Amino acid sequence: MKKILVTGALGQIGSELVPQLRELYGADQVIATDIRRLENRVVNSGPFEILDVTNGKALLDIAKEHRVDTIIHLACLLSAKAEDNPLMAWNINMNGTLHALEAARELNTKFFTPSSIGAFGPTTPADQTPQDTIQRPTTMYGVNKVSGELLCDYYYTKFGVDTRSVRFPGLISYETLPGGGTTDYAVDIYYKAIEEGTYTSYINKGTYMDMMYMPDAIEAIIQLMEADPEKLIHRNAFNVTAMSVEPEDFAKAIQKHIPSFTLQYDVDPVRQAIADSWPNSIDATAAKFEWGFEAKYDLEKMTADMLEKLKAKQL
Ligand code: AKB
């Protein structure tokens, strides 16, 4: 990767990926784009352009103008928001992905876009979900993610576009809040633990989902993009995970640092139904084998770091 275009750069992943890419490849080599402008370190540390990914010509023009050789397409509506606005989700998630793939085809660039555990559904084996398995999601987000995976396969086999992707679990970070996801509770719980010493979870006790700390997610993207193409048997998209956890696991881990922390429940039926349709745990063996994926943070290590970083932010 030498010149990289990132869409959705001000979102949860982009806010941490862009600074890391700029450190590795040079500030001017990473063109950050988003539908809005914020005064933050992504906008202020290198090239930034306003881009609505539903506008295919605008996307292609920016990619051409900057002569990019890699497109990292992050712009996306997350699962809960997509359930509220299915047509908007289709437009942003599907047309955005198609436009980014078309630009990659026309300019012969590498391509990355994240898929998700949301690409699985209630008929998928729920425990240690295999890399290749049944994918019949029941959410608009899931439909978009499976279609995105298939489109990436299609662009790879039909046009030779070097497409790569991972199925991210819930991502936990202290830099930027996620917006409109089902796994967002796993981020909120840390903020509330610091701010109020208590949290009310909209996801029920005993609901297991995969999670990963953001530094591991950023490392996974960079490692996969740098991986030898010859070694990739699976083109799209690799299961990756660091932990399979339920709300009580977070509470216990937080209580080791804040003993008075309490957890209550007020279950949101919409997000609970989405969570129930997703796996309890996924199997990341293919990612480990084909490109050496390995998460460094488990629940204990992540919790210690999250609480320390959030406390420092408060000061
Ligand atoms: C969401 O909850 O929608 C995302 C995801 C798991 O893809 N965090």
Substitution site in 146, 172, 184 for ligand 1 pocket (most atoms within 8 Å of beta carbon): 184
**Annotated active-site residue in 25, 141, 154, 265:** 141
Across the beta sheet with 238-239, what order do the strands follow?
115-116, 166-168, 238-239
- The yes-or-no verdict on residue 235 having pLDDT over 80 is no
- The yes-or-no verdict on residue 121 having pLDDT over 90 is yes
Helix then strand then coil, in percent of the chain rounded to 5, is 45, 15, 35
- For 188, the enclosing helix (H) or strand (E) is helix 185-195
Q: What would the pLDDT profile of 254-275 be if each residue is shown by its tens digit?
A: 999 999 999 999 999 999 999 9
Q: What would the pLDDT profile of 122-156 be if each residue is shown by its tens digit?
A: 999 999 999 999 999 999 999 999 999 999 999 99
185 is catalytic: no
- The predicted model gives 177-185 an average pLDDT of 93
CA within 13 Å, CB half, 115: 30
Does residue 224 contact residue 273 with C-beta atoms inside 8 Å? no
- The yes-or-no verdict on residue 288 having pLDDT over 90 is yes
Q: What would the pLDDT profile of 70-79 be if each residue is shown by its tens digit?
A: 999 999 999 9
- Between the CA of 140 and the centroid of ligand 1 the distance, in Å, is 12
Q: What would the pLDDT profile of 7-56 be if each residue is shown by its tens digit?
A: 999 999 999 999 999 999 999 999 999 999 988 889 889 999 999 999 99
Kindly indicate whether the ipTM for this predicted assembly is greater than 0.90, answering yes or no. yes
Distance CA 59, CA 5 (A): 10
Mean pLDDT for all residues in the chain: 96
Q: What would the pLDDT profile of 185-233 be if each residue is shown by its tens digit?
A: 999 999 999 999 999 999 999 999 999 999 999 999 999 999 999 999 8
- The predicted model gives 228-254 an average pLDDT of 94
Q: How confident is the model at residue 179 (pLDDT cuts 50, 70, 90)?
A: confident
- What does 34-92 look like in DSSP terms, one character per residue? ESS--SSHHHHTS-EEE--TT-HHHHHHHHHHTT-SEEEE-----HHHHHHSHHHHIII
Substitution site in 92, 171, 183, 280 for ligand 1 pocket (most atoms within 8 Å of beta carbon): 183
> pLDDT value at position 75?
98
Name the pTM for this structure.
0.97
- The yes-or-no verdict on residue 178 having pLDDT over 90 is no
- The yes-or-no verdict on residue 1 having pLDDT over 70 is no
> pLDDT value at position 41?
86
- For 128, the enclosing helix (H) or strand (E) is none
> pLDDT value at position 40?
87
Which residues have C-beta atoms less than 6 Å from ligand 1?
78-79, 116-118, 141, 168-170, 178, 181-183
